[in-house]
């Protein structure tokens, strides 16, 4: 297991080096123990990478970088992304390895519904303009039109009308992922299924067969979303 954790840390170190434009920041001492803790919790490497990416997105948004990022700065984002992944694929506290902490990160302030719709419309429009997924254009266009109309009055929605919109967002989200799945070639789907099995492997022994099947499907759906860079339309 020590070798596995050392390998895990080397992979994280290499990814951080690439994000830092080749500047190597060694993961040693307390940082090594921190990353080993991620490995002990079963956090998949690509979830760690997405957490690092999220930190860097905020870092770049502040202007030119002045110093390389250390892995310690990324922990809150790594845990946030892991918590999102767990909820999306149905991995609960009971699936954790013995002795591993299940402390959830402190919740970040949630964006408002209008701000969420603005962000989703912007990302869908950018995907549509990219022209790299022509077979998804119909689903993207339909989603943008409906969301664009919805955001005009989203700020004033209350009660049942707001809940109805939130439910509709879940439907649109499922529809977009299904449209993306329909355009996947078999080799891609097979590869994503294998990646889902790898991500869930630390938790599989603690899942029933039914729970594992549900979690595996949810994990594949999330990987499809990531592969095609689809935003999450659902509003949590």
pLDDT digits (tens, 9 = 90+) for 121-133: 998 998 887 666 6
The pLDDT, as a whole number, for residue 156 is 86
Give the chain as a DSSP string: -HHHHHHHHHHHHHHHHHHTTT------THHHHHHHHHHHTT--HHHHHHHHHHHHHHHHHTSS--SPPPGGGGHHHHHHHHHHHHHHHT--GGGSPTT---PPPPPPPPPPHHHHHHHHHHHHHHHHHH-S-GGGHHHHHHHHHHHHHHHHHGGG--HHHHHHHHHHHHHHHHHHHHHHHHT--HHHHHHHHHHHHHHHTTTGGGS-HHHHHHHHHHHHHHHHHHHTT-------
The pLDDT, as a whole number, for residue 110 is 60
Query: Quick one: pLDDT band at residue 98, thresholds 50, 70, 90?
Result: very low
Tokens, residue 150? 């919805």
| Measured distance CA(116)–CA(215) in Å, rounded | 26
Query: Quick one: pLDDT band at residue 1, thresholds 50, 70, 90?
Result: very low
> What's the average model confidence in pLDDT over 159-185?
92
Residue 99 has pLDDT above 50, yes or no: no
pTM of the prediction?
0.71
The pLDDT, as a whole number, for residue 92 is 63
* pLDDT tens column, 39-97: 988 899 989 999 999 999 888 877 776 788 999 999 999 999 999 888 888 876 444 44
47 against 1, higher pLDDT: 47
* pLDDT tens column, 2-41: 678 889 999 999 999 999 989 989 999 999 999 999 998 8
Distances (CA, A) of 18 to 25, 53, 68, 159, 218: 10, 11, 11, 47, 30
Residue 185 has pLDDT above 60, yes or no: yes
Tokens, residue 189? 């789907």
Every domain of the chain and the residues it spans: 2-90, 113-227
First to last CA, the chain: 36
The pLDDT, as a whole number, for residue 180 is 92
Query: Quick one: pLDDT band at residue 183, thresholds 50, 70, 90?
Result: confident
Distances (CA, A) of 173 to 68, 90, 120: 36, 17, 11
* pLDDT tens column, 193-229: 999 999 898 888 888 899 999 999 999 999 999 888 8
Q: Which residue has the tokens 């609960």?
A: 92
- Asked if 193 and 181 touch (Cβ cutoff 8 Å), the reply is no
| Measured distance CA(70)–CA(16) in Å, rounded | 8
| Measured distance CA(170)–CA(236) in Å, rounded | 9
């Amino acid at each position: 297991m020590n070798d596995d954790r050392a390998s895990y840390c080397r992979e994280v170190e290499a990814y951080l080096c690439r994000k830092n434009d080749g500047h190597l920041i060694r993961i040693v001492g307390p940082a090594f123990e921190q990353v080993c803790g991620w490995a002990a919790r079963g956090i998949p490497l690509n979830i760690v990478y997405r957490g690092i990416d999220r930190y860097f997105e905020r870092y770049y948004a502040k202007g030119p970088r002045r110093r390389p990022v250390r892995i310690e700065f990324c922990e809150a984002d790594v845990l946030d992304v892991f918590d999102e992944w767990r909820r999306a694929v149905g991995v609960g506290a009971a699936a954790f390895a013995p002795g591993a902490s299940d402390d959830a990160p402190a919740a970040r302030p949630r964006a408002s519904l209008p701000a969420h719709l603005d962000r989703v419309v912007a990302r869908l429009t950018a995907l549509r303009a990219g022209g790299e997924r022509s077979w998804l254009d119909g689903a993207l266009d339909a989603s943008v039109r409906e969301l664009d109309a919805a955001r005009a009055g989203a700020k004033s929605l209350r009660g049942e009308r707001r809940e109805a919109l939130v439910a509709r967002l879940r439907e649109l989200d499922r529809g977009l992922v299904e449209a993306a799945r329909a355009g996947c070639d078999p080799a891609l789907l097979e590869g994503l299924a294998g990646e889902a099995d790898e991500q869930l492997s630390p938790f599989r022994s603690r899942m029933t067969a039914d729970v594992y099947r549900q979690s595996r499907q949810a994990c594949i759906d999330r990987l499809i979303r990531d592969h095609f860079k689809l935003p999450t339309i659902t509003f949590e």
